């Protein structure tokens, strides 16, 4: 491999969440693809960064594309299921996530994966990117994807990018600062977190966690005061008595001198070392406060210190200056609605463009706009609703043109480096969104090869149709609360709103029943067989807030649980269920979240 030059159709640089999805999708479409990753695990945030309790796109109707396929694989492979934590409906052993991605790559003969390499130079011919040099080899490609965690290709190729805050005067974002100040200077981007996994050793005594340099226990004082120790640990509880430590309150977010990440390789290494030490000292603080029952997990990540993720969980990177920039307005719900407008997403370099380019959605997310700055509560415009007995985020779409550089060909971005404002990045950075962006970018790259065109010249409508009709992992374009991917009319309604975007409903509900009755009976039998049955009394506390007192089985009699669901037709049944109604439900108990996740309901 030394000094070798590879030639391929599609080159994906970076094996994180977006890059892994992009490479798999490009190869499945038929493009000859090379994926070059820095780390021996693929999946980034979902695996090698240790955040195996992902946020967002949790509703059944939002589990489409590679994200939905990943969840299906996790359900089949994770012993004991995914109901382990209270921060997420899906928490799993990161090794299993990495195994899924490795298996998907292995089955594709036209996808070559090379690990342990980072880009050091980008080759250009005029305004087009043509190749990338790594330490030991060169890859030339027709389409190159920047899937690095920090947008490294943007810097190497001198493609315009943003880093830091934009003022309110730039785009009129309601949560943006009016002026730069000491806070915006100290934290130009969101703080990363070096995740560490702790282990409950039970009756045994865990090895003492040694102090790392710069230990200062006072930094962590009060970390779980408003929660309690048990609730704090169960935040990111994983199977096997493990705990994902990714805690923002006096915890292991680290943002001291975060600009060092892009200053130089030396300053980046300094920051990373300090960040890892900070997490080690937080783990030591937890052990000292809660006892030697808790220690560092063993034999988890493929490196010497197996309890620590392979790299930090980066929440923000260099952000492309693209054809379109996603602003805060583009992720907030419309007035008296429950979804963001699909017509807000065309904002080319600060100037609105014509309606013809407003039909550009290629992925979507729904998480709240969440920013992390150690010791600082930064207020943002709310974008959440109560749904299914709990809070969820209002959905928004990602336009294709925010993946395309304003003036450079041969390149797409597909990570947190899309063209997005600092404020809006707090919602677009989540794992399912980035996976959807990656899938769309991979499909676009492969189609550019097929059609011998540049990304900016690819028909968005053709790309959208390909995503909707993909034979392995068809991906929704528009988010609808009541249109699960196995609905018989799913494709019809997705295509209808592509052709009639002005009809997209502010409610997020398309005019069809939530559940396909022709499919209902067979699927119900599966759900009843796979879930536990409970009979009890439903108590309506207020709108979208339900408690359930169990009558049977006798072992659970008298227990009170919060009722929640991720399924639209169950949500609709709960909305009309009378107070103090006797009902029978099939579902799963989450003992750390104290909720019962309802999959099937009878008696309404």
Query: What does the alpha-carbon distance between residue 321 and residue 476 come to, in Å, rounded to a whole number?
Result: 26
* Residue of 290, 317, 135 whose CA lies nearest to 209: 290
Estimate to the nearest angstrom the gap between the alpha carbon of 269 and the chain centroid.
Answer: 26
Identify the segments of the chain with pLDDT beneath 50.
345-358
pTM beyond 0.85, yes or no: yes
DSSP bridge pairs for 384: 393
Q: Which pLDDT score, from 0 to 100, does residue 356 have?
A: 34
Task: List, in sequence order, every residue forming a beta bridge with 237; answer none if it has no partner.
Answer: 243
Helix 65-77 with 431-451: angle, nearest 10 deg? 120
Measure Cα distances from 136 to 54, 177, 314, 579 in Å.
34, 45, 26, 68
Is 274 exposed, middle or buried, given 0-12, 13-18 or 19+ CB atoms closer than 10 A?
Answer: middle
**What pLDDT score does 353 carry?**
36
Give the tokens for residue 293.
């029952």
Q: How far apart are CA 294 and CA 173, in angstroms?
A: 44
- pLDDT tens digits, 536-591: 999 999 989 999 999 999 999 999 999 999 999 999 999 999 999 999 999 999 99
- Do 428 and 435 meet the contact criterion of CB atoms below 8 Å apart? no
Give the largest Cα separation in the chain, rounded: 74
Name all domains of the chain by residue range, CATH numbers in brackets: 4-163+316-503 (3.50.50.60), 196-296 (no CATH), 518-602 (2.40.50.140)
How far is residue 330 from each of residues 73, 322, 362, 428, measured CA to CA in Å? 32, 15, 14, 11
Could you count the other beta carbons within 10 Å of the beta carbon of residue 499? Answer: 9
pLDDT of 152? 98
């Amino acid at each position: 491999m030394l000094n070798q030059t590879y030639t391929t159709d599609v080159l994906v640089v970076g094996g994180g969440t977006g890059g892994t999805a992009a490479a798999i999708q490009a190869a499945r479409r038929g493009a000859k693809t090379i994926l070059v990753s820095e780390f021996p695990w693929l999946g980034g945030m979902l695996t090698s960064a240790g955040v195996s309790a992902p946020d967002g796109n949790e509703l059944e109707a939002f589990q489409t594309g590679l994200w939905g396929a990943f969840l299906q694989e996790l359900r089949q492979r994770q012993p004991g299921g995914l109901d382990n934590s209270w921060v997420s409906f899906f928490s799993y052993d990161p090794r299993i996530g990495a195994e899924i991605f490795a298996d998907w790559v292995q089955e594709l003969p036209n996808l070559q994966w090379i690990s342990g390499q980072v880009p050091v130079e980008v080759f250009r011919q005029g305004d087009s990117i043509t190749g990338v040099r790594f330490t030991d080899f060169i890859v030339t490609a027709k389409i190159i994807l920047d899937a690095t965690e920090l947008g490294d290709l943007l810097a190497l190729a001198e493609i315009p990018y943003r880093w830091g805050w934009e003022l309110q005067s730039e785009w009129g974002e309601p949560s943006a600062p009016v002026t730069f100040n000491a806070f915006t200077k100290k934290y130009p981007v969101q703080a990363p977190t070096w995740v560490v996994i702790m282990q409950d050793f039970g009756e045994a005594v865990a090895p003492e966690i040694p102090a790392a340099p710069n230990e200062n226990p006072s930094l962590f004082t009060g970390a779980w005061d408003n929660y309690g120790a048990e609730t704090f640990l169960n935040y990111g509880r994983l199977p096997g008595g493990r705990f994902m430590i990714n805690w923002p309150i006096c915890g292991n977010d680290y943002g001291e001198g975060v600009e060092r990440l892009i200053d130089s390789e030396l300053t980046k290494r300094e920051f990373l070392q300090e960040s890892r030490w900070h997490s080690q000292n937080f783990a030591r603080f937890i052990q000292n406060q809660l006892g030697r029952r808790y220690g560092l997990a063993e034999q988890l990540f493929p490196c010497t210190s197996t309890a620590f993720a392979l790299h930090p969980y980066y929440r923000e990177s260099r952000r492309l200056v693209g054809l379109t920039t996603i602003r805060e307005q583009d992720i907030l719900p419309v007035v008296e609605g429950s979804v963001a407008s699909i017509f807000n997403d065309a904002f080319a370099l600060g100037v609105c463009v014509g309606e013809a380019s407003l039909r550009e959605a290629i992925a979507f997310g729904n998480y709240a706009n969440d920013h992390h700055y150690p010791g600082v509560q930064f207020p943002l415009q709310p974008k959440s609703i109560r749904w299914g007995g709990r809070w969820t985020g209002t959905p928004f779409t990602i336009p294709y043109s925010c993946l395309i550089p304003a003036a450079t060909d041969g390149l797409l971005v597909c990570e947190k480096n899309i063209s997005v404002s600092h404020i809006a990045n707090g919602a677009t950075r989540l794992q399912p969104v980035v996976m959807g962006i990656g899938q769309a970018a991979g499909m676009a790259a492969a189609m550019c090869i097929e059609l011998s065109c540049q990304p900016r010249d690819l028909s968005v409508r053709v790309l959208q149709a390909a995503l909707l009709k993909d034979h392995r992992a068809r991906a929704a374009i528009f988010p609808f609360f009541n249109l699960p991917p196995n609905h018989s009319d799913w494709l019809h309604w997705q295509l209808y709103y592509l052709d009639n975007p002005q009809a997209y409903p502010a409610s997020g509900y398309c005019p069809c029943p939530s559940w396909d009755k022709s499919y209902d009976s067979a699927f119900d039998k599966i759900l009843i067989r796979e879930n536990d049955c409970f009979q009890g009394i439903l108590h309506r506390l207020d709108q979208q807030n339900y408690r359930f007192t169990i009558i049977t089985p006798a072992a659970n009699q008298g227990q009170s649980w919060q009722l929640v669901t991720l399924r639209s037709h169950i949500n609709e049944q709960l909305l009309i269920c009378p107070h103090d109604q006797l009902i029978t439900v099939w579902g799963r108990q989450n003992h750390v979240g104290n909720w019962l996740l309802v999959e099937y309901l009878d008696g309404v």
